[in-house]
Chain A
Amino acid sequence: MSQQNWMLNAFVYAVLVFILLPILIILPMAFSDTDYLAFPPKGYTLRWFESFFASSRWMGALRFSAEIGLLTALCTTVIGTAACYALVRGAGGLGAVFQGLLIGPIVVPHIALAVALYLFFQQTGLSGTRLGYVLAHTVIALPFVVFTVAAALSQVDPALEDAAMSCGASRVTAFRLVTLPLILPNVISGGLFAFIISFDEPVVAFFLAGIRDKTLPRMMFDDIEQNLTPVIPAIAVLLTLLSIVVLLAGWLLKRAAERKAPAAPSEP
Chain B
Amino acid sequence: MTLTQRGTGIEIRGLRKAFGQVTAIDHLDLDIHPGEFLALLGPSGSGKSTVLMALAGFEPPTGGTIRIDGEDCTHVPPHRRNIGMVFQHYTLFPHMSVLDNVAFPLRMRGVAKEERRARAAAALETVRLGAFGDRLPKQLSGGQQQRVAIARAIVYNPRVLLMDEPLSALDKNLREEMQIEIKRLQESLGITVVFVTHDQGEALTMADRVAILQSGRLQQISPARELYERPANLFAAGFIGEMNQLNARYDGARAHFSDGTSLAVPQTALVAPVPPGPATLTIRPERVRPVAPGSGDLQGVVRDVIYSGAGTLIIAELPGGTEFRARISSAGIAPPAAGAPLGFALPPEGLLLYPAAA
- Spell out A's residues near B (CB within 8 Å): 157, 159-160, 162-171, 173-174, 177-178, 181-182, 260-268
Contacts and interface: CB of A to CB of B under 8 A. Distances in A.
8 contacts: A159-B87, A163-B91, A174-B79, A177-B104, A181-B95, A260-B95, A264-B138, A268-B140
A7 to B, nearest CB: 42
A268 B152 contact: no
Q: List the 9 closest A-B pairs by CB distance, nearest first.
A: A268-B141, A168-B108, A166-B85, A163-B91, A167-B105, A165-B78, A165-B79, A159-B91, A266-B139
Contacts, number: 82
Nearest to A163: B91
A265 B140 contact: yes
Nearest to B108: A168
Given A181-B95, A265-B139, A163 B87 contact: yes
B94 interface: yes
A162 B91 contact: yes
B82 to A, nearest CB: 8
Interface string B181-204: 000000000000000000000000
Nearest to A260: B95
Nearest to B91: A163
A165 to B, nearest CB: 4
Contact of A162 (B78, B83, B139): B78
Given A159-B91, A162-B91, A182-B95, A168 B139 contact: no
B56 interface: yes
A160 B93 contact: yes
B105 to A, nearest CB: 4
B89 A168 contact: no
B141 A265 contact: yes
Interface in B69-86: 77-85
Interface residues of B, number: 35
Contacts of A160: 91, 93
Residue from A165, A167, A267 with most neighbouring chain B CB atoms (10 Å): A167
Contact of A268 (B56, B138, B144, B149): B144
Given A165-B78, A167-B105, A168-B105, A159 B141 contact: no
Contacts of A260: 95
B84 A166 contact: yes
B235 interface: no
Nearest to A182: B95
Contacts of B83: 166
B192 to A, nearest CB: 15
A167 B104 contact: yes
Contacts of A182: 94-95
Interface string B95-119: 1000000001100110000000000
Nearest to A184: B95
A258 to B, nearest CB: 12
Interface in B134-167: 136, 138-141, 143-144, 149, 152-153, 156, 162
Given A262-B139, A268-B144, A167 B152 contact: yes
B104 A164 contact: yes
A159 to B, nearest CB: 5
A228 B104 CA distance: 62
Contacts of A157: 89, 91
A231 to B, nearest CB: 47
Nearest to A162: B58
A159 B108 CA distance: 18
Given A166-B153, A263-B138, 9 more contacts: A159-B89, A166-B56, A166-B85, A168-B80, A169-B104, A177-B93, A181-B95, A261-B95, A261-B136
Contacts of A167: 79, 104-105, 108, 152, 156
Contacts of A170: 77, 79
Contacts of A265: 138-141
Contact of B108 (A173, A261, A263, A266): A173
Contacts of A261: 94-95, 136, 138
Contacts of A163: 85, 87, 91-93, 149
B352 to A, nearest CB: 41
B93 A178 contact: yes
Nearest to A263: B138
Contacts of A164: 93, 104
Contacts of B139: 262, 265-266
A157 B145 CA distance: 15
Nearest to A178: B93
Nearest to B88: A159
Contacts of B143: 268
B133 to A, nearest CB: 16
A156 to B, nearest CB: 9
A161 to B, nearest CB: 9
Contact of A166 (B79, B136, B140): B79
Nearest to B53: A162
Nearest to A159: B91
A248 B318 CA distance: 77
A166 B78 contact: yes
A12 to B, nearest CB: 36
Nearest to B93: A178
A226 B6 CA distance: 84
Contacts of B82: 168
Given A166-B56, A166-B85, A262 B95 contact: no
Contacts of A181: 95
